[in-house]
A and B are shown apart, each in its own frame.
Chain A
Amino acid sequence: MAHVIQPLDQPSNYKDSQTRMDRKRQNETLVNSTTLYIGNLSFFTTEEQIYELFSKCANAADGGGIKRIIMGLDRNTRTPCGFCFVEYYTHAEALASMRYVSGTKLDERIIRCDLDLGYREGRQFGRGKSGGQVRDEHRQDYDPGRGGWGAQAQRLEVERRRAVEERYSDAQDGPGAVAGGGEEWKEIETSEGKLKRGRSPEDEGDNDRMGRRTRIDEVTEADRM
C-alpha cells in the first residue's frame, strides 16, 4: 500500500556518520533492524517513560518485547543529552514504532524515531565538542526540556534534574558496560544429557544445577497434566 500515500516506516536520511559499514550493508541491516534511534528527548525523560511508550508497539505473543534501552549520555558529565536507542526483539516492532510513535509526544516533546544499524560500544555518548549532542551546539533558542539556567526557576524541574544527574554517574564505558537485555529462549541441558555443550562466555550458569531444576519441573508438569 504505497501508491497513494508514503508509509511512515521508511528509513530517513538519518545515519550513523561514524559507521564503518558500506552503504549496501547499511541498507540490508536496516531492512531487518530491531533498533531505533530516538531523538529530541527531554534531558529529564527516564528510561521507564521511554519503556512505557515504546512497549505499546511491543508484541510479546509474536516473540517480541523491549530488549533494552540505551540512554544517550553527555560524554563529560554522564548525564542524559536528549537521545537514546530502543532495541526490540523483532523488526516488526521497530516498524510499528516508526508508524505509530515517531512524531508523537513523550514528556511533552515531539520525539523522532529512526531505524538504526544497531547499538555499538561507545554510541551511548554524545559526539558534540562539549560532550553532548552535535545538534544542541547548533541550537540558538532556549529549550526548557533540554536544560539551561531558565529551567531552574521551576522547582519541579530542579528536583527532577537532580535525580537525573545522579542517575548515570556510575555509567561506564568499554566492553560490557551496556547490558544485553536477555537473549532468546534456549534449552537448558540436563546434567545427564549427552548433548553437553561447551560453555559460551555469556553462559556463566551452573548447568548441572539448572538441569536438575528443569527435570523436576517436567516431572511435576507431567503429574499436573
Chain B
Amino acid sequence: MSYNRQSRGGRRHYRDDEDDRRRDIVESPQERLKFAIIKLGEADPYQEISTVESRIRELAPPDIYNLSESFHIGVTEQPYKIPFYAALLRLLHDNPSKDGDSFGADKNSLGKQILEEFWKGFQAYVDKLMWRETRLCIHFFAHLTSAQLISPESFAALLRSFTAVLDEFGVSHGRAKRAALCAAEGLMIAGAVLTLHEPAFPGEVITSIQTYTETTGSGKWIVQPVVRLHSPAVAVENADELLDTALIALKALESSSFEGPYPRPYSEYHPPDSSLFTLFSLPSVLVPPEVIELETLSSEAEESEIKRQEWPEYFLRLFSDDVTPDPNTPAGYAVRSDLLVMIDIFEVNRKEAARLLLEYPKWVAPGTFKPKPGAPPPEMEHLVNHDWQLESTLLETMLGASLVLPQSSQAQIYYDSLITEVCKLSPSTVGPAVGKSIRKLYNSLTDGLDVEIERRFSEWFAIHMSNFNFQWVWKEWIPDLDLAIQHPKRAFMRTAVEHEIRLSYYDRVAKSLPEAMHALEAHILPKQAPGPDFMYDDTSKPHHDAAQSILNLFRGRAKAEDVIVHLDTLRNTLESEISDTENVNSLVRIISTQSLLHVGSRSFSHLLNAIERYLPLLRTLASGGVTASTAAGNLEAKADILSAAALFWKYNPQMVAIVFDKLMQYQIVDPTDVVSWTFLHVSEVDESEADLRAPLNLSAFEWNLLKAALDKAIGRVNTARRKLAILRKEDDDNRARAKASGGNMDVDGETKPDEPVMENPALAVALKAFSSLTREQKTALSRTLEGFVSCLAPSPTSLHPNPKAREILTEHSWHNRANWGKEEWNAWETWGWYRHFCRAYSPYLRNYATTFTAVSFARFEGQSDPASDLLQKIWDVSTGQE
C-alpha cells in the first residue's frame, strides 16, 4: 500500500501504480490505517465496521486526504464491499459525546469531512469519463442516501445528469449505455428513499432509459447471439441484453417499493439526529462529452484514433433460473453486475480474480447461494433462499462476458485463463459446471449459435482441455457424426480437435478420441499429423528434377541472385516440357516457393531463416516474371506464391496462416492480396478436401485468413498514425521554439513575416506512409466486402455460385434445417461470417460507407432479390445507415 506524501493536496494518484516500491519500507501509521480500511470485512464484515471505525478515530490528527483515498480504493476496487463502506462512513458521522457514548452527528464530524473530500475524487472520475469508477461511486452515494447522509434531492439531481446523456443528439451506444447504468443502478439501490422524496422520480428514470433502449432494435439484430437470416426481428431465447435486464429489474423493484437485494448494514444504526445534522448536498455535475468525439471535429479528422464501435451487449444464459440467477430480476441483476465488474477490475491478476470470485457469496445475503457441501447448518433462517449454484453462476458469467459480440471487453484469452484458475482452485465443484456449460453451448449449435461465438467456443474448449489433460467425454457426441458434414456440431468437433492438436500433438489428441472419431469419414481427426506436403518430393512427380535443382542451390546456401539466374535457365527447359495451356512463369513460381518452404519446413524459425535469406528471390517472384521482364503479372504472381504456400501446408492450416502472416510482414504480398486470394483461390487448394470447400464459401479457416489480413492492414495504419502524431508534436514544438527565439531577436519592433520553418523530412515520409497504408486498408476492406457480395448474391454468370446462398433465407428453409446438407450449412456459415465482418469492422467501414455502398450495392438497385436485400440490410445496420 503506497501513500505518496508529496501528492497531498496536489495531483491525485488513485490509479498510479507505485507498488514497485519495496514492501519492506516501514509503513507509517497512516499507511497501516489505509490498509485496514481496504481490508475491511475480510473476516466478518458486520463485526469489523466498528473496529475499523475505532482505529480511524484513534489515529489523531486525522488525515482526511488519506482516509478519503482509502475509501476510494475500497469503493472502486472492491465493489462488493460498498454497503459496508457506506456503513463505516455512517458511523464516522457520529460525534462521540463527552461521556463516551457515541450519539448524534454534526457537520464537523470526521465522516462529513471524508465525504466532502471523497466528492472531489468523484468529480475527477466524471471529468475524465472514468465510467466504471463513476458508476461504483454512485453505488456508494446511493447507499449513503439510503443511510440518510446525502440529501435525496441532490442524489436525484446527480442521477438526472446521467439520464440527460441519453437525450444528447447522436449519443454513441457506449456512452448512453454507461450513463444509463449509472442512473439505473443508483436508483435500484436508493429507490425507496428517492420515492419517498419525489414519487414520480423512478418513473422518470425508467421512461428515459426505455425511450433510449427502444432505439437500439436494429443494433440488437446485428449482435444477437443467434443467426436468424429469415427474420428482421430480434428473437433471443437464451440470452439477455444488458440494458434490457437493467430496465426490467428496475421496473420489478419499482413495483415492489424498492425492496432490493442489497445488504444494508447501516439500517441497524439509529438515524442521525436531524436537529444536529444537515444532509450532505451533492454539488451538481455535468457529464462532459467524450474526448474522442471532440477530436473528430478537428481538422486532422482522419488521423484521429478509430473508436471502437459499441453495440447492445447480449449475455448467454446457460442454466435455468433455479441454478443461476436470472438477470431480469433485481437479485439476479445485482449478482450479475457485481461479478461482471469484478471480472473487469481484477483483470490484472487472474489468480486473485478467481479467488475473489469464489469468495463472492460472503458479501451477499446468506441464502443467495447454496452453502458449500459440508458447511455447518445456518444458525438462523436465511432471509432469502435462492440457493443458486456459485460455480455455475461464475461459469455462466465468465463465458457470457467472453462471448459478447462483436468483441468481448477483455481479450478472450483472459476469460479462458480465468476459467482455468477458477477450476484449479476448486476442481471438484467447478469441473461439473464446466462440463454442463460445454454441453449447453454445444447443443445450441443446432439452433443457429453465431459463427463467431462458435469460433471462440472452440478456442476456449481447446485451451481448457489443454490445461486439464485433454479429458473430455467425446463419445457422447458420436451420434452426431450422422449429421451433415458441415453441420455446426460437426464443424465444431473438427475445429476443436484441430486447435487441440495445435496446442499439443497429433498422437496425444488422437489418444483422447474414441475409435469412431478416428475414421476418415468422420472428418474429425485429420488423416495424418499436420505436416508439409512438398509437391515435388516424389521422384515420380513431374518437375521433381527441377525442384531438386533449386533445392540444391538453397541447401548449398547459394546467393539469391544466383538462384534467380538459375530460374531463367530453368524456365527455358520447362517451357519445352509443358503443354500450351500451362503457364511456365506460374510453374516456376510454384516450384520455387514450394522449394523454399521445404527448406524452411522444420520449424517456424527455419521458415523465417529461409525467407530472410532469399528475400530478393521472393521479391523477384512476386514482381511477376522470373526475371524483371514483366511487371504486369504481379497480382497473379502473388496469388501463385500464396497458392504454393497453401498447397505446401494443406495439412496444417496453422502454418498456412503463419506463412501468409510473414509474407505480409516481409512485404512480399499485401493484405489485399491475401483477401483476394482467399475469395478466388482457396477452394483450389486441396482436391481431396475440395468436397468440403467448393463451391465458394467461408469457414473458420478462411475467416481467420481474412481477419489476419484485415488486422494487418489496420495495424499498419495504427502504427503509422502513432508515428505521425509523435512527429507532428515534435514539429509543433520546433515551430513554437523557433517562433519564441525569433521573437526575442525582434528588438526593433519590426514585424517580420513568419519565417518559413524547415520542412521536416521525417514528417513528410510519415505522412506519405500514412496515406498509402490508409489506401491499402481501404482496398482490403473493399475487397472483402466485394468478395462476400459475390459469394452470397452470385450473379448467374459467376464461376462457382453457391446454389443455396438464396434458398436458405426463408423461414421455411430454416425450420427444415434438420434436412440441410453440406451446401446449405456452407451457405449459412458464409452468411454468418459476412454478418460478423460487417459488425466487427464497422468502425472502419463507416468511414467509407458511401463509396462502398456505391461500389458494391448499386448494381442491385431496382432488383428484388432476397440475398441482395439481406446483404444490404446487414451492411446498412452495421454502418449506422439504418
Give the B-binding residues of A (Cβ under 8 A): 1-10, 44, 46-49, 51-53, 56-57, 59-65, 68-71, 96, 99-101, 103-108, 156, 159-160, 167-168, 170, 178-182, 184-188, 195, 204-206, 208-210, 212-213, 216-218, 220-221, 224-225
Output the nearest chain B residue to A49 by Cβ-Cβ distance: B503
Query: How long is the Cα–Cα vector from A2 to B18 in the complex, in angstroms?
Result: 8
B602-A65 in contact (CB<8A): no
A217-B349 in contact (CB<8A): no
Which residues from B are CB-within-8-Å of A159? Answer: 507
Output the nearest chain A residue to B716 by Cβ-Cβ distance: A185
List 20 contacting pairs A-B, 8 Å CB cutoff, sorted by A: A3-B1, A4-B77, A5-B348, A5-B349, A6-B352, A8-B350, A8-B351, A9-B348, A52-B503, A57-B411, A99-B349, A100-B413, A108-B466, A168-B602, A179-B605, A181-B608, A185-B667, A185-B769, A188-B667, A225-B779
Output the nearest chain A residue to B410 by Cβ-Cβ distance: A100
Which residues from A are CB-within-8-Å of B467? Answer: 104-105
Which residues from B are CB-within-8-Å of A216? Answer: 631-632, 634
Query: How long is the Cα–Cα vector from A212 to B414 in the complex, in angstroms?
Result: 45
Which residues from B are CB-within-8-Å of A71? Answer: 603, 605
Which residues from A are CB-within-8-Å of B632? Answer: 216
**A-B contacts besides A5-B348, A217-B670, 17 pairs, CB < 8 Å:** A44-B505, A48-B654, A48-B658, A51-B604, A52-B499, A63-B716, A65-B715, A96-B413, A104-B467, A108-B469, A186-B769, A206-B619, A209-B631, A213-B623, A213-B624, A213-B631, A216-B632
Q: Which chain B residues numbered 9 to 26 have a C-beta less than 8 Å away from chain A?
A: 15, 17, 19-20
Q: Closest 6 CB pairs between A and B?
A: A182-B665, A179-B608, A60-B711, A63-B719, A7-B348, A56-B413
Q: Which chain B residues numbered 592 to 628 have a C-beta less than 8 Å away from chain A?
A: 602-605, 608-609, 611-612, 615-616, 619-620, 622-624, 628
Query: How long is the Cα–Cα vector from A117 to B412 in the complex, in angstroms?
Result: 27
For residue B36, CB closer than 8 A to chain A, the reply is no
B603-A6 in contact (CB<8A): no
Query: How long is the Cα–Cα vector from A64 to B603 in the complex, in angstroms?
Result: 21
Q: Which chain B residues numbered 385 to 438 have a C-beta less than 8 Å away from chain A?
A: 411-414, 416-417, 420
B719-A184 in contact (CB<8A): yes
Size class of B's contact patch?
Answer: 35 or more
A6 to chain B, nearest CB (A): 6
B855-A225 in contact (CB<8A): yes
Output the nearest chain B residue to A1 by Cβ-Cβ distance: B348
B209-217, B283-291, B770-778, B789-797 - the one binding chain A: B770-778
A187-B17 in contact (CB<8A): no
Which residues from B are CB-within-8-Å of A52? Answer: 499, 502-503, 654
Which residues from B are CB-within-8-Å of A220? Answer: 635
A168 to chain B, nearest CB (A): 8
Query: How long is the Cα–Cα vector from A221 to B773 in the complex, in angstroms?
Result: 13
Query: How long is the Cα–Cα vector from A146 to B505 in the complex, in angstroms?
Result: 16
Query: How long is the Cα–Cα vector from A102 to B19 in the complex, in angstroms?
Result: 20
For residue B560, CB closer than 8 A to chain A, the reply is yes
For residue B451, CB closer than 8 A to chain A, the reply is no
B348-A205 in contact (CB<8A): no
Q: Convert B32-65 into 0s and 1s, putting 1 for each residue whose CB lies closer than 8 angstroms to a CB of A.
A: 0000001000000000000000000000000000
A69-B605 in contact (CB<8A): yes
For residue B146, CB closer than 8 A to chain A, the reply is no
B768-A187 in contact (CB<8A): yes
With A156-B508, A204-B560 as given contacts, are A48 and B604 in contact (CB-CB < 8 Å)? yes
A210-B605 in contact (CB<8A): no
Which residues from A are CB-within-8-Å of B505? Answer: 44, 46, 49, 107, 160
Which residues from B are CB-within-8-Å of A206? Answer: 616, 619-620, 628
- Find B349's partner among A7, A44, A178, A184 (CB 8 Å cutoff): A7
Query: How long is the Cα–Cα vector from A212 to B711 in the complex, in angstroms?
Result: 26
With A60-B712, A96-B413, A182-B665 as given contacts, are A8 and B615 in contact (CB-CB < 8 Å)? no
For residue B661, CB closer than 8 A to chain A, the reply is yes
Which residues from B are CB-within-8-Å of A46? Answer: 505, 603
For residue B700, CB closer than 8 A to chain A, the reply is no
Q: Convert B579-592 into 0s and 1s, putting 1 for each residue whose CB lies closer than 8 angstroms to a CB of A.
A: 00000000000000
B121 to chain A, nearest CB (A): 14
For residue B851, CB closer than 8 A to chain A, the reply is yes
For residue B666, CB closer than 8 A to chain A, the reply is yes
Query: How long is the Cα–Cα vector from A3 to B508 in the complex, in angstroms?
Result: 43
Which residues from A are CB-within-8-Å of B154? Answer: none
A10-B350 in contact (CB<8A): no
For B463, B560, B608, B719, which residue has the most chain A Cβ atoms within 10 angstroms? B608
Query: How long is the Cα–Cα vector from A101 to B463 in the complex, in angstroms?
Result: 11
Which residues from B are CB-within-8-Å of A1? Answer: 15, 77, 345-348
A180-B716 in contact (CB<8A): no
Q: Convert B129-155 into 0s and 1s, putting 1 for each residue whose CB lies closer than 8 angstroms to a CB of A.
A: 000000000000000000000000000
Which residues from B are CB-within-8-Å of A49? Answer: 502-505
Query: How long is the Cα–Cα vector from A225 to B416 in the complex, in angstroms?
Result: 41
A205-B711 in contact (CB<8A): no
Which residues from A are CB-within-8-Å of B346? Answer: 1, 5
B623-A209 in contact (CB<8A): yes
With A206-B616, A217-B670, A225-B851 as given contacts, are A47 and B635 in contact (CB-CB < 8 Å)? no
With A8-B348, A209-B623 as given contacts, are A182 and B662 in contact (CB-CB < 8 Å)? yes
For A10, A57, A63, A195, which residue has the most chain B Cβ atoms within 10 angstroms? A63
B413-A57 in contact (CB<8A): yes
For B413, B609, B611, which residue has the most chain A Cβ atoms within 10 angstroms? B413
Which residues from A are CB-within-8-Å of B619? Answer: 205-206, 209-210
Which residues from A are CB-within-8-Å of B622? Answer: 213
A38 to chain B, nearest CB (A): 14
Output the nearest chain A residue to B531 by Cβ-Cβ distance: A163
B350-A69 in contact (CB<8A): no
Q: Which chain B residues numbered 679 to 736 have a C-beta less than 8 Å away from chain A?
A: 708, 711-712, 714-716, 718-720, 722
Which residues from A are CB-within-8-Å of B414? Answer: 99-100
A106-B466 in contact (CB<8A): yes
A204-B615 in contact (CB<8A): yes
B551 to chain A, nearest CB (A): 14
